[in-house]
Amino acid sequence: MPNLRYPTQPNYSLAFLLNKESTSMAEDDRQSASHPSKRQRVSKACEQCRRKKVKCDGGIPQCSNCRGQKLECKYNETTKKRGPPKGYIEAIEGRMQRLEALLSSVVQEDDPRSQAIMEELNAPLHTPYGELVRPKLLGRSQADDASPIATTNTAASTSSQQGSPSSSIASNSNSQQMPIRPPLPQPETCVIENPDNLGSQYTDENGPVRYYGKASGYYMLRDSKNYKQGVFRFNSSAYRSNKTSSLPYTVDAFALPPKDLSDHLIDLYFKHFYPLLPIMHKRTFMESYQGINPNLPSIPLLLLNSIFALSARISPDIRVRADPSQPDTAGDVFFERARLLLDNEWEDFTVSTVQSLILLSSHQTGLMNTVRGWLYSGLAFRMMQNLGMNRNCDKWNMTEIERENRKRCFFCCFVVDRLSCAMFGRTPIIDERDYDTPFPTDKDEDDPSIIENFHQLIKLSGTLGSVLRQFYTVYGRHQLSVMSTPDRVISVLDKELNGWMAKLPLEILYRPPNTRAGERAEAPSIERCQMHMLFYTTLILLHRLFIPGRCQSVKPSVFPANAICTYAANKILDISVCLMEEDRLQHINCYALYFMFTAGTIFINDAQSPDEMAAFEAKINVNKIMRAMEHVESVWKTSARHSNILGELAGLRDINLEECATYQQQQQLIQQQSPSSSSAAIAVPSSPPMYPAEPPQQQQQQPQQQQQQQQAYAQTRSQPVFDYANPGVNPYDPTAESPPDGQPFDPISMAFWSVPGSFDLNEWNSYLNSSSQQQQEQQQAQ
C-alpha cells in the first residue's frame, strides 16, 4: 500500500459545514427572539477599535466610536482565520496512521468483507442532499479556497497530481477508479565536475546522482567512452539483479533455517568475519544461541538473519541460495528477512539493531548495493548516538556484559565509518571530540588476541580519519592549495602512522614476504592481514596526492611520495598473493577490496615510468592485483566492477597488460623448476630474513626502483623514516630539489591530485570520461 501524505490541517466535509452553519443560524434566531434588545455580535471590528481593544458596532462607513471621536474608520478586508485547537492536528494524524496500518493489513487479504470495505472507501462521497463532496487540496491558493466545491475535471486532475491525503484511498474525480501502483523509477543523471573540484558524480542505469569524493579514487576514469555530454552512465545490470524480483516466493520474516545450517553459518561468521570486527560479546551470544543460560534474552531474529546473510556469501551449502542454480543468490533470503524485520525496529531499536545494521551495511556494500550499504551504516551511527554508546557507561546502571556490548558496537561503528568514508571519498561522520567510550576489555576465551588486534585497528582507523579530513575534504584541499609546502602536515600524519607501526606488539606485527622475488611464507590470521593492508592503504592515501606529474621538474615535498606509495602497494600485493595461494583471500571483508584497488592505482601510475624495467614490473603487478580481485568476485561482486575499472584505466593510459602475461607464466615455471636456496621462513618478526628462491641471474634483473624503495623506506621499528627535527633535509633523496621559498604548492601538476581516492564507481567513471575528453582535445590541438 503506498505511503499516505497526512494533512497539516483538517478537511471538513460539506455536510458537516452545512449542519454547523444551520445550527448556528437557528441558535441566533432563538437568541434574537428571546432577547430582542440584546446587541448582536459583530464579526469584525475597524482598525481603530481593534488597536484600542474596544467594542465596535461595525457601522458602515463609520462606526459610532470613530464617528464620535472624528477619526478615520477603516476595515481590514482580510481577516485572520482561527486555526484548529492545539493538539487537534496531531490527534488526527495519529488516527490516520493507525487507520493506515489497519487498512494495509486488510487490503492484502482476499476476504470478501475487506473487498467490500475497499469498494465503499473508493466510492465518491455525497452529502445528504446528493451533492458530490471533494476533498480540500493541500497547498491551494486563496482563490481555490473560496470555492470549496469543485466539480470540473481540471480540479479532479489537480487533485490526483497534488497527491492529497484522501486520494490514496478514494478517487473522487470520476466514476473510473484507477489502480494503485508504485511510482515509476526515474533514470539517473550525472554531472561530471571539473578536474580541480573535490569530488565527482555518477549515474547508474536506473538511479539518481551519487557523489563520491577524491579518496574514492574514481576520478581517474574520466576518459571512459561512457562519458557523453558531461554525463557518465554506468550499466551494472550485468553484475547485479533486481533484488525485488529475485525471490520466486514470499519470504516469511520469522522463519529460521534448519539447525545444522544455522550452526554452520554461525561458525563461518565467528571464524572469518567476527575477528576483524568483534561487534558483540561472543560468549554471551553463544550461550543464548545454544540455550545454555536461560537467564539471557533470546537473540533477535534481525541479528541472526544479518549474520546468516553475511556468512552465506562464503558458504558452500546450496541451501543458502534463493536459486540453487545461481551462486550469486547466496544469502538473499536471509537479507530479505532482515530487511522486513528492520521495519519493526524504527521506534524501539536497541544495541542489537545497530549491530545488525553494521553487518547489513557490509553485506550490501560487497554486493554492489553501495547506496543501501552507505545508508544502513548511517542509520547505525544515528541509532548509536541516540542510545548514547559514544559515552562512557562504566558507571551506568547496567551489567558488565551490556557495557561490553555497547563498547564493542560503538568502536565497530567507528571503524566502519572510517573504512566506508575512505571507500566512497566522504568525510567521517563520527567525531573524535564527541566520544569518551573506553576500549572494550573483556577478551574472548578461545582467542584473546582478537580484542588486542581490535584495539590496534581502532587506533589505525583514527589515523585514517585524520588523513581523510586533512587531504580529502573541501576545506583540507583548499588549505593545501594555498600552502607553500605541505611537508608540515604530511610529517605529522606520517609520524603518527610510523608510531603506530613501531608500537605494535610482536605478536601482531607482520612483515609480508617479497612474493615478487619468490619469497614464500605462511600468512597470519585473516584479521591481522587486513589490518596491515589498511596500514599500507593509509600510507598511500597520505602520500599519493603529492606524487609529481611527468611534466613537473620540482618535487612538491621532501617526502619521496612515489617511492613510498610503490612500497606500500607492493606490500598490499604481497599480502593478497599469500592469502590467494592459501585459498583464504575470499574470506576477507568487503572493505579489503578497497585496499587492493588502491594498490592497483599506484601500479597503473608506475607502469608509465620512463624506467622500462620499473614500468614492466608495474604491469606485472597490475595483472596480479587484478587476478586477486577476480578471485574474490564469487563472494563480493563489487570486486569484478573495480577490476574492470583498473583494466579500463590501463587502456586509457595506453598500458599493454597482455605482453606481461607470457613473461609472468615463464617466471612461474622457472620458480617451480629451480630448487629453493633457503628454507621457507615464517612471516613473523622473530623469523630470520627471507631470501628469494630465484637463480642469481634473475636476482640481478630485479628493477632498480624496487631496491631503492627498500633502502628508502627502512623498517620503522629500528629508526624513524623521517627527520622531523630538520624537515628541510630529505633522507630518501638527498639530491632532490626542495620547493623554492615563497612559491605556493601547485596541486594541478600532481599526478594524483585529480585521481579519485575512493572505491566509488561513480567518481572513477567521471574521471575516466574527463581524461578521455582531455586526450581528444590534445589530439585535436596537435
Task: Name all domains of the chain by residue range, CATH numbers in brackets.
Answer: 43-78 (4.10.240.10), 88-167 (no CATH), 259-458 (no CATH)
Q: Which long-range contacts (CB under 8 A, 24 or more apart) does 193-200 make?
A: 193/766, 195/219, 195/222, 195/754, 195/770, 196/747, 196/748, 196/754, 198/472, 198/473, 198/474, 198/477, 199/425, 199/763, 200/756, 200/762, 200/763, 200/764, 200/765, 200/766, 200/767
More confidently predicted of 103 and 453: 453
The average pLDDT across 754-763 equals: 64
pLDDT for 413 beyond 80: yes
CA distances for 197 relative to 309, 473, 748, 766, angstroms: 38, 11, 11, 12
pLDDT digits 0-9 by tens, 355-397: 999 999 999 999 989 899 999 999 999 999 999 999 999 988 8
* Helix, strand, coil shares, percent, the chain, to 5: 50, 5, 45
> Taking the mean position of all CA atoms in its chain, how far away is CA 271?
26
The pLDDT of residue 573 is 96
More confidently predicted of 69 and 129: 69
Q: Burial, 339: exposed, middle or buried (Cβ in 10 Å; 0-12, 13-18, 19+)?
A: buried
CB environment 313-322: b (16+ within 10 A), e (fewer): bbbeeeebbb
pLDDT digits 0-9 by tens, 75-128: 887 666 667 777 778 788 888 877 877 776 666 556 666 677 667 777 766 665
Question: Residue 204 — pLDDT band, cuts 50, 70, 90?
Answer: low
Q: Burial, 297: exposed, middle or buried (Cβ in 10 Å; 0-12, 13-18, 19+)?
A: exposed
pLDDT for 316 beyond 80: yes
The pLDDT of residue 99 is 82
Q: Burial, 709: exposed, middle or buried (Cβ in 10 Å; 0-12, 13-18, 19+)?
A: buried
Q: Give CA–CA dist 3/650, Å, rounded.
A: 47
* Residue in the block written with cell 598490499: 572
358 touches 279 (CB < 8 A): yes
Q: Give CA–CA dist 310/359, Å, rounded.
A: 7
The pLDDT of residue 609 is 84
Q: Which of 59-73, 196-210, 572-586, 702-716 has the lowest mean pLDDT?
A: 702-716
Q: Burial, 306: exposed, middle or buried (Cβ in 10 Å; 0-12, 13-18, 19+)?
A: buried
What does the block give as the cell for 150? 469543485
pLDDT digits 0-9 by tens, 144-194: 444 333 333 433 343 344 333 333 333 333 333 333 334 444 444 444 344
Q: Give CA–CA dist 761/754, Å, rounded.
A: 15
The pLDDT of residue 694 is 43
More confidently predicted of 73 and 306: 306
pLDDT for 4 beyond 90: no
Q: Give CA–CA dist 272/408, Å, rounded.
A: 17
Question: Residue 455 — pLDDT band, cuts 50, 70, 90?
Answer: very high
Average pLDDT, the chain: 73
What does the block give as the cell for 578? 599469500
Q: Give CA–CA dist 649/767, Å, rounded.
A: 10
Pairing assessment for the beta strands 200-202 and 210-212 based on DSSP bridges: antiparallel
> Taking the mean position of all CA atoms in its chain, how far away is CA 232?
20
Question: Residue 739 — pLDDT band, cuts 50, 70, 90?
Answer: very low
The average pLDDT across 731-759 equals: 50
Largest CA distance in the chain: 124
Residue 713 neighbours by CB distance under 10 Å: 18
The pLDDT of residue 653 is 61
The pLDDT of residue 75 is 84
162 touches 173 (CB < 8 A): no
In sequence order, what are the beta bridge partners of 232? 227
The average pLDDT across 503-532 equals: 92
507 touches 501 (CB < 8 A): no
Radius of gyration for the chain, computed over Cα atoms and rounded to the nearest angstrom: 34
The pLDDT of residue 148 is 36
The pLDDT of residue 244 is 44
Looking at residue 680, what DSSP letter applies? P
- Vertex 352: Cα angle to 432 and 309 (nearest 5): 105
In sequence order, what are the beta bridge partners of 203? 233
The average pLDDT across 637-655 equals: 78
Question: Residue 8 — pLDDT band, cuts 50, 70, 90?
Answer: very low
The pLDDT of residue 499 is 94
pLDDT for 731 beyond 70: no
What does the block give as the cell for 391? 559515552
pLDDT for 39 beyond 60: no
Phi, psi at 750, each rounded to 5°: -75, 145
Question: Residue 720 — pLDDT band, cuts 50, 70, 90?
Answer: very low
What DSSP line would sit under 142-185, residue for residue?
A: HHHHH-----SHHHHHHHHHHT-GGGGT---SSSPPPPP-PPPP
Question: Residue 557 — pLDDT band, cuts 50, 70, 90?
Answer: confident
